[in-house]
A and B are shown apart, each in its own frame.
Chain A
Amino acid sequence: MSAKSATAVAPVRTPVVQPGAASPAPAVRVEGVSQVFERGRPPVLQGMDLTVAPGEFVCLVGASGCGKSTLLGLIAGLSTPTSGRISVSAERPALMFQEPALLPWLTATGNVELALRARGIGRAERRAESDRLLGVVNLTGQGGKRVHELSGGMRQRVALARALAQDSSVLLMDEPFAALDAITRDVLHQELTRVWSEQGLSIVFVTHNVREAARLGQRVVLLGSRPGRVVREWQVDIPQPRTIESPGVSALAAEITRELHQEISRHGQ
């Protein structure tokens, strides 16, 4: 690899954001959002505030009942909050689920092309673009495979390619690697970090895996449960590439875990 090709993959679309620097239009802004599903029941989210800068990688961690998935659904526009405001810079944020959620009657290519079709892209261009995107997730030449012929890790990469096909600057991820084995997850962490820095995406990554959050995020936000709200957040200044074993990652994960345990213990009293 020459230095020239390295510069060719510099971030596009959004400028590098300095932490703390004033940014004119955040990628995602959640202001005082509360969500009540049933009247008389405690709210799932209460007074939630969250701002994600363009190009920022934010991880949300929390125990069950912190409303992580609900929050992502709200940001994705799948439902509307009971109160509060949500604004997203992208017209339609891309969303990845814990399940790959690929359509089993389509091939890998067909699944990616469906996202392109939804954008109104013509047939010939669809094929070329889906080939390119499958290449981005290291699945060149595998596009003809049907979903059941792919491994769990490959399915999530097809799902990532499909999310990228939405050409949105904001990518929401709902525990996308939770069901994968540890080796595959490590590899996908690296894959995702690479895609993020190449494409200049803003990512909101929800997980219950504290180490995963410390491994991936530029910022980790700890959510409290019942009702879901922000408890604390950490700026992560460990440079990428990190690994799950990096000392800095481990130390941060230990600190977040302590805080998380305190938050969980409150509910047993």
Chain B
Amino acid sequence: MASDNGRGLTLVDREEATDNRAVEAGLDALNTGPDLPPAPGPGRIFVRSVLPPIVFVLLLVGAWQLAYLAKIKPSYALPSPAAVADTFWKTVQDGTAAEAIWTSLSRGAIGFAMSLVIGSLLGLAMWGSRWLRAAIGPFVSGLQSLPSVAWVPAAIIWFQLTDAAIYTVVLLGAVPSIANGLLSGLKQVPPLFDRVGRVLGLSTLGRIRYVLLPAALPGYLGGLRQGWAFAWRSLMAAELITYSPALGQGLGQLLNIGRELSQMSLVITSIALILVVGVAIELLVFAPIERRVLVRRGLTIR
């Protein structure tokens, strides 16, 4: 028995193994109980997430109505909620709102898509080259804190009142966030994952494709989300300043019309539309993607 050195299974071993498998299955069942609470029903979701902001908006409108009745400001400066609602409704009904949203949103989408490509390439390049990272890293981070509206005058001088000027401002706003997001995502990949890729025998490209990029995804998504917020802000700043019939009428331009006409109800309507579109993109596009990725990895509870 010593001579066979434990190799080769006898009938007794086989029974032992079966027994061991039963213990193993029991341990597995004990250790993997349902650790997540059941998904909340639609009623609970409504009470928890939808109701509070509605209540807050109602309170805000109530306070506004009181301020209007108290005549804190003359009515051209502080119109009543009803007057603003009337303007809002007219803007929506005559198609002005839809046109402005479409103009701005398509610009935002194109600008964001360009930022996505350029920012991702820049992030990858900075990750790949230590020299490049040292050389331009501080400037990319610096750009993030520079309000991109500061670029508007320069962009107008370079490109006059064209879409190119607007896209320049959007890119300067969004690219740094996306590049930095990807870079920090890549930097946070545990070295152990790369060792796993090497032990498994993946090629360099295979390690990048199957290990590195998926591992960096949460940081990258954070960068994209911030990149969108910056792109949208920069776009509004650019549209507000670059007013020209050739540029069509985006939300920023609509806001500018309100200012020029001293029509406060149109100004508030425009601000509300800008806010709604920004929040809608955040809630409908970025939040679900990010949540899905984090839940899949067990990085967050539902």
Residues of B with C-beta under 8 A to A149: 32, 298
Cβ contact within 8 Å between B210 and A117: yes
Cβ contact within 8 Å between B7 and A101: no
Q: Which of B197-215 contact A (CB under 8 A)?
A: 198-202, 206, 210-211, 214-215
Cβ contact within 8 Å between B5 and A218: yes
Cβ contact within 8 Å between A197 and B7: yes
In the complex, B257 has a CB within 8 A of chain A: no
Cβ contact within 8 Å between B9 and A187: no
Given contacts A103-B193, A154-B32, A190-B20, contact A218 B297 (CB under 8 A): no
In the complex, A265 has a CB within 8 A of chain B: no
Residues of A with C-beta under 8 A to B31: 151-154
Q: Which of B8-39 contact A (CB under 8 A)?
A: 8-18, 20-21, 23-25, 27-28, 31-32
Q: How far is the CB of A120 from chain B (nearest CB, A)?
A: 10
Partner of A10 from B9, B18, B217, B297 at Cβ < 8 Å: B9
Q: How far is the CB of B11 from chain A (nearest CB, A)?
A: 5
Given contacts A55-B7, A146-B297, A187-B24, contact A1 B18 (CB under 8 A): yes
Cβ contact within 8 Å between A6 and B11: yes
Residues of A with C-beta under 8 A to B195: 78, 97, 101
Residues of B with C-beta under 8 A to A23: none
Cβ contact within 8 Å between B9 and A9: yes
Q: Given A17-B5, A55-B7, A166-B200, 18 more contacts at CB 8 Å?
A: A6-B14, A18-B3, A92-B199, A92-B201, A104-B299, A105-B293, A114-B202, A115-B200, A117-B206, A138-B25, A151-B27, A154-B31, A166-B199, A187-B24, A193-B6, A194-B17, A218-B5, A237-B5
B: residues with CB less than 8 A from A are 1-18, 20-21, 23-25, 27-28, 31-32, 192-193, 195-196, 198-202, 206, 210-211, 214-215, 217, 293, 296-299
18 contacts between A and B (CB under 8 A): A6-B13, A11-B8, A16-B8, A17-B5, A78-B195, A92-B201, A103-B215, A114-B210, A118-B200, A138-B21, A142-B28, A149-B32, A162-B200, A187-B20, A191-B20, A197-B8, A198-B9, A237-B2
A: residues with CB less than 8 A from B are 1, 3, 5-6, 9-11, 16-19, 55, 76, 78, 92, 94-95, 97, 99, 101, 103-105, 114-115, 117-119, 138-139, 142, 145-154, 162, 166, 183-184, 187, 190-191, 193-194, 197-198, 218, 237-242
